[in-house]
Amino acid sequence: AQSVAQPEDQVNVAEGNPLTVKCTYSVSGNPYLFWYVQYPNRGLQFLLKYITGDNLVKGSYGFEAEFNKSQTSFHLKKPSALVSDSALYFCAVRDANQAGTALIFGKGTTLSVSS
Amino acid sequence: DAGVIQSPRHEVTEMGQEVTLRCKPISGHDYLFWYRQTMMRGLELLIYFNNNVPIDDSGMPEDRFSAKMPNASFSTLKIQPSEPRDSAVYFCASSLSRGGLRQPQHFGDGTRLSIL
């Protein structure tokens, strides 16, 4: 069975500091991994994905994520946080070996960036 | 390119009434998903379609919920009769199947439903 965990409900960082939002996953086959961001009163917006290849994936708005197969993790990172990055972040996983399956989303992590 | 369009954006109605939520996916996308988001339960997948055919409706909470996709450009989620515990934000999302499971889903801005 597929699952994804976001162990932190909230992450607080100061503007200009690096940020990390954690995600771990469980799939029986190879994972397809995604990060989404949700701003208030909006739908989820796609940030980046890992399918195969380079473990460091770069996405929108200066975000990047590192795939670590041994630790089954896919943490979202940004070198320098902005106040405008404050939002709800979702990690999602799909098993590449199971056709027709939908994405499994984590419960979300609220990122709060203070000025 | 227009994104996923949902209507209405807000719906307030009384318990027992029928509610119909509408979704227009991105043109050319052949997967369509309906989600529900609440503070308590987070983001829940209700049902999804591929080429207008329902693939998995195991997330539909009760028989009061039904979803249809009569053509590639339109889907509805209906609740009849509605109950206060159905209050939530309902999202529609679409994606391409070309490339397999690698494509991201694109979300609409949701319908905020309040059942009084």
pLDDT in tens, chain A (115 residues): 789 999 999 999 999 999 999 999 999 888 999 999 999 999 999 999 999 889 999 999 999 999 999 999 999 999 999 999 999 999 999 888 776 667 899 999 999 999 9
Residue in chain A lying closest to B95 (CA): A102
pLDDT for residue B107 is more than 90: yes
pLDDT digits (tens, 9 = 90+) for B74-104: 999 999 999 999 999 999 999 988 766 788 9
Q: Residue B101 and residue A94: Cβ atoms within 8 Å? A: yes
Listed in sequence order, the residues at least 6 apart from B111 whose beta carbon sits closer than 8 Å to its beta carbon are: B6, B7, B8, B9, B10, B11, B21, B89, B90
Does residue B70 have a cis peptide bond before it, meaning omega lies within 30 degrees of 0?
A: no
Position A66 scores a pLDDT of: 96
Position B34 scores a pLDDT of: 97
Nearest CA distance, B56 vs chain A (angstrom): 9
β-strand partners of A58: A64
Instruction: Report the C-alpha gap between B69 and B64 in whole angstroms.
Output: 17
Instruction: Report the C-alpha gap between A20 and A63 in whole angstroms.
Output: 10
Residues of A at the B interface (Cβ-Cβ below 8 Å)?
Answer: 32, 34, 36, 41-46, 49, 51, 90, 94, 96, 99-103, 105, 107-108
Report, as an integer, the average pLDDT of B25-54. Answer: 93
